[in-house]
Amino acid sequence: MHHETICITGGTGFVGQHLANRLTQHGYKVRILTRRRERHRELIVNPDVTLVETNVHNADALRQQFEGADVVINLVGILNETGNKGAGFRQAHVELPEKIVAAATASGVSRLLHMSALNAAAGEPNSLYLKTRGEGEDLVHGAADQGLVVTSFRPSVIFGNGDSFFNRFATLLKIAGPVFPLACPDSRFAPVCVTDVVEAMCRSIGDATSGERLDLCGPETFTLAELVGYTRDLLQLKCHI
């Protein structure tokens, strides 16, 4: 059993809830930073999880909340933004990691686990999401010079209880007509179960994966059309994709 304290940014989302509960099973104390504490009662009931209402984009607040933590885990990420020309992606994926690195080093935290994305690359020309994810990933790994031990995780689509990917398509399929239009149906994914992602992160808390960028993929690859078709069949719907 462990008695270290782990501070999580982005810990109230799908992966964060699974991770927080698993960490407490391993004996860790978990501190989750959130904008709206009262919205996450499912985490409040866990006696080993503390939800702190704060603004994670405030450098002073971050530094204060990282005090006394042994490990910081950053799970913050957004999949979409509207009308900001990349500003939202940059704030979440680049500017926030930069603040997290600064706050961690200032408060004496030596271990950082960082969530990125499969195929993230700073030189990505076509996707602001992947480009900013890559820039943030490079930034946190650059903090090794400051004594911060970093591991980043690059998952494919994550599925499991409460996921957004399959549940979003399930919602759309239920209200679709006889034909369900799908952009980029031949895009390929290797879905990975949230329990596997969480276990990989738990096992990486020690320094054995220091400096590594870990791709997290499931054992099989599917097209987007196949995944949506699978969801449709589970719902016993008849629409054509």
Q: How confident is the model at residue 223 (pLDDT cuts 50, 70, 90)?
A: very high
Q: How confident is the model at residue 1 (pLDDT cuts 50, 70, 90)?
A: low
Are the C-beta atoms of 226 and 169 separated by less than 8 Å?
no
pTM (two decimals): 0.92
Structure tokens given for 59: 């450098």
- pLDDT of amino acid 11: 95
Q: What is the mean pLDDT of residues 160-167?
A: 91
List the domains of the chain with CATH numbers.
5-158+191-219 (3.40.50.720)
Are the C-beta atoms of 152 and 213 separated by less than 8 Å?
yes
Are the C-beta atoms of 153 and 214 separated by less than 8 Å?
yes
Q: Which residue has the higher pLDDT, 176 or 1?
A: 176
Angle at 78 between CA 192 and CA 28, to 5 degrees: 60
pLDDT in tens, 26-76: 999 999 999 888 788 788 888 999 999 999 999 999 999 999 999 999 999
Structure tokens given for 230: 């699978």
Neighbours of 38 (CB within 10 A): 9
